[in-house]
Structure 1
Amino acid sequence: MRQVVTHIYTVGASEMSQTIEAVPRRPRDQLHAYIQSNLQFISGHPKEVRALGEIFLTMRRKSGELAFGPEDEEPVLHVLEQIFREGQATGEFRLFDARIMALNLRATIDKFSSLVGVGREVDLKSYIREMIELFGRATCKTQE
């Protein structure tokens, strides 16, 4: 099961990196590309997303604990925190707790995953647009 998770994450990282690497290195562009590429991957791989959900919710260690826990999210959260901190350092983003923002972004993406994973019809373009707008407003220096 761990190999299944590793394979899906490897394929996802490969597909998403193409979108992310195609945009300028500015934090806002990187953030938008991160959101877009994640949602596109999830939308394009519903069976894999469903498999991940089942594995994450049911696979257990011998001790009975879930096999995948918060520590498994750290590499992804670290990338997001770096984007947010770089945006703050360059003055592109307002000051906020980068960890909390990263957790909230991942939670929003994970909710999209759960919808896709159970076969819900989701308007991908609208979801991408609204998430970019939401996190754009959450990170901007002045509210418009």
Structure 2
Amino acid sequence: MQFYYGPQMPLRILDEAEFWKHQEEEHTLVIRALVPNLEEEYVEALEEWEAALSETHKKVVRFIETVARSGYQLSQALQQQVMQLVSFSLQQSLQFINLCQQIKTKSKAVSANQTAKAVLDHIIRESEYFVGISQALLYQQQP
């Protein structure tokens, strides 16, 4: 993501969050499809994550709609809510990364599947990208 958006940066991060929360949601499906013999505890965790990421994605979409309807003029309160959502999304991505790392290192089904390991590494890197841009925005907004 480019950082030359200036005051429109919070709107840009909502676009990123919308995209990456949807990606992470889809990644739960990819992992389950790629490793059909994945242990039940991980299948259940991924199903729960799918629902949680979908819910966050919907919240982000609602915020984008609110910002668009406001004529792209963010009140201080709305700006603060956007930053809280970005912070929540960042923390959620960190937790999702943790789950993916756990699956990669502890799942017997994944240990025998080099493709699954490579895909999990890719999924982790993608979520880390979102974490990085979210952190940059949040640190930029601190007084």
TM normalised by structure 1 equals 0.36
Select the structure with the greater relative contact order (CA < 8 A; seq sep ≥ 6): 2
Compare CA radii of gyration and give the structure with the larger one: 2
More helix by share: 2
